[in-house]
């Protein structure tokens, strides 16, 4: 496959940096050397320590959410119990004797009129 390189292309620079002049190459080389000579690389952080810290964070969050959920359930239970207790009639306010009817029943039954058959 021809990646923009002709058959007679010069590959002394690896082919990719043909257009770069030597001054730019020298500047780039000097910049890389300065980075490498700046000092020792900082130590890489431990992946295990980061995972342990993340696990602690997740456990704390999970515990906090579970406690908040339990608190919500407890508040709902107390609220329901108070509302149910308030809806029951108070035993102190109930009368001790059964209620008496306000209208006294009549002694004799009232006669009911029966229709007579039509002559026919």
69-79 per-position pLDDT tens digit: 999 999 999 99
Quote the pLDDT of residue 79: 93
8 has a pLDDT exceeding 60: no
94 has a pLDDT exceeding 90: no
> What is the phi-psi region of residue 84: left when phi exceeds 0, alpha when psi lies from -120 to 50, beta otherwise?
alpha
Quote the pLDDT of residue 9: 46
Question: Is residue 22 within 8 Å of 30, Cβ to Cβ?
Answer: no
Q: 23 Cβ partners below 8 Å, 6+ apart?
A: none
Every domain of the chain and the residues it spans: 47-82
Report pLDDT digits (tens) over 40-87. Answer: 877 888 889 889 999 999 999 999 999 999 999 999 999 999 888 777
Name which residue leads in pLDDT, 119 or 89.
119
């Amino acid at each position: 496959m021809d990646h923009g390189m002709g058959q007679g292309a010069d590959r002394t620079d690896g082919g990719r940096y043909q257009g770069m002049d030597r001054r730019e190459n020298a500047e780039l080389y000097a910049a890389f050397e300065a980075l490498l000579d700046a000092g020792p690389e900082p130590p890489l952080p431990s992946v295990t320590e980061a995972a342990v810290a993340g696990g602690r964070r997740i456990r704390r969050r999970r515990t906090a959410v579970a406690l908040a959920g339990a608190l919500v359930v407890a508040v709902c239970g107390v609220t329901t119990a108070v509302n149910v207790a308030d809806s029951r009639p108070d035993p102190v306010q109930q009368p001790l004797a059964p209620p008496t009817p306000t209208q006294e029943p009549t002694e004799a039954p009232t006669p009911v009129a029966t229709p007579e058959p039509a002559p026919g």
